Copies of this chain bind each other. A is one copy, B any other.
């Protein structure tokens, strides 16, 4: 096969492959995100987006910095601006993050994780890792 450089066949095979890759991703994504959603909610009272935001916040803050601009954190995530804003509101009501004014630019808000937020994140992260290992390891 391929001795004539059969482009049509290669394209066909390639398209089937692309389609299959997407179908598998769709199935895996729904399976894993549903399980994460359930486990995080049941065990820690967090939705998946809540957790992913806390995760990004911890990563962006690093060990030294305590605050991140909301816009910068938003850029790290898959959420729309409005969904991001509401997720922050949820987490703030729960006491896991705090909005703080930014002296330089009064349009911006800094975002900081609270002690309670850090603790909740670390315990939820164990559940998170367990679920991912179960599906990807």
A-B contact pairs, 9 of them (CB 8 A): A14-B137, A18-B133, A19-B132, A22-B132, A25-B25, A25-B32, A26-B33, A27-B78, A30-B78
Residues of B within 8 A of A31 (CB): 78
**Which B-chain residue is minimally distant from A134 (CB atoms)?**
B18
Q: Taking the complex as formed, is A90 at the interface, i.e. its CB lies under 8 A from any CB of chain B?
A: no
User: Are B78 and A18 closer than 8 Å at their CB atoms?
Assistant: no
A82 to B78, CA, bound (A): 26
Enumerate A1-36 residues with CB–CB distance to B below 8 Å: 14-15, 17-19, 21-22, 25-33
Q: Given A18-B132, A25-B32, list of 11 further CB < 8 A pairs?
A: A15-B129, A18-B137, A19-B129, A22-B32, A22-B132, A22-B136, A25-B25, A26-B33, A26-B52, A29-B29, A30-B78
- Tell me which of B22, B27, B129 contacts A18 (CB under 8 A): B129
A37 to B106, CA, bound (A): 36
**Which B-chain residue is minimally distant from A30 (CB atoms)?**
B78
A32 to B52, CA, bound (A): 19
Residues of B within 8 A of A22 (CB): 32, 132, 136
